């Protein structure tokens, strides 16, 4: 067999190995802070969020309607969607991962069947993720998809996350994030999380008094430890918190209490990924992330991940 044929076969084998075994391996990123942007024009632009130096991940929300053959609808409040093209690229140039968040409150986000899950994944890939495609946002593409699911049904989300993960390749890694509530297991996303396909799990430790900080630090830690010990290998676990008391009915933690009492205990978890601050508007008003940022990562610095684009490398 000639050398050319051997090279071609090796490439095909590598591609096959990636799609079958690597697609659902979690990210090996270092820790950081994530937030949600897109639901109030007073929060400022996406570019301003990225230029603040506060975040390593920004979830743009929300794609509120999809699945079950509904026409997809993206809700960005009063933001000018045309500005997103340049803003997404600028954020990515800074090394910040920008994900499209699907779901949100009040949407119509139900998957009808495994086949429908594949159709939704195809739509997301072709319109928001595929490099070189002229999608909804022109030539700007998101780094991945965040599942912020508050749907009527808990069915077939595992099929959707597996279908999206299958699009990961050596050319583009599709990052996948989930935002479950702190009661374990999460009603909507339990089956999807157990696939191991998510890179980041940002658990909402707010609006759930039995497992958030309003029930005392022991309640929060018990829930955190349950999540930490139950996640598939490779998933990064984020502590999801409101940026202010006005942003949640319960679960707010004062910055000083978070940095001196909570973070020192949870950062020892091997799958600790950082803190998710909800959301950008309330963070702007309260300056919450700026107060906690130096304590979020192990080395005490504001950033733990290099501020530059890094190619995704498949190791086979």
Catalytic residues, which ones? 150
CA 29-188-214 angle, to 5 degrees, is: 75
């Amino acid at each position: 067999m000639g050398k050319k044929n051997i090279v071609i076969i090796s490439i095909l084998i590598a591609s096959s190995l990636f799609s079958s075994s690597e697609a659902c391996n979690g990210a090996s990123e270092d820790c950081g802070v994530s937030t949600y942007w897109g639901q109030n024009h007073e929060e400022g632009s996406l570019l301003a969020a990225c230029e603040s130096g506060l975040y390593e991940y920004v979830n743009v929300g929300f794609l509120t309607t999809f699945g079950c053959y509904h026409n997809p609808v993206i809700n960005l409040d009063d933001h000018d969607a045309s500005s997103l093209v340049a803003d997404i690229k600028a954020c990515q140039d800074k090394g910040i991962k920008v994900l499209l968040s699907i779901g949100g409150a009040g949407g119509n986000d139900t998957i009808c069947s495994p086949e429908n899950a594949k159709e939704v994944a195809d739509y997301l890939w072709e319109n928001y993720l595929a490099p070189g495609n002229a999608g909804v946002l022109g030539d700007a593409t998101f780094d991945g998809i965040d599942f912020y699911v508050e749907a009527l049904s808990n069915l077939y989300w595992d099929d959707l996350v597996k279908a999206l993960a299958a699009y990961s390749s050596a050319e583009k890694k599709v990052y996948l994030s989930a935002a479950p509530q702190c009661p374990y297991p999460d009603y909507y996303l339990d089956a999807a999380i157990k696939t191991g396909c998510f890179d980041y799990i940002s658990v909402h430790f707010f609006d759930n008094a039995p497992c958030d900080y309003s029930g005392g630090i022991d309640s929060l830690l018990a829930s955190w430890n349950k999540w930490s010990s139950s996640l598939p290998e490779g998933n990064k676990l984020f502590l999801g918190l409101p940026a202010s008391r006005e942003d949640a009915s319960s679960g707010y933690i004062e910055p000083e209490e978070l940095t001196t009492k909570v973070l020192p205990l949870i950062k020892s978890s091997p799958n600790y990924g950082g803190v998710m601050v909800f959301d950008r508007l309330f963070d702007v008003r309260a300056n919450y992330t700026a107060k906690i940022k130096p304590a979020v990562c192990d080395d005490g610095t504001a950033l733990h991940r290099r501020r530059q684009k890094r190619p995704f490398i498949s190791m086979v």
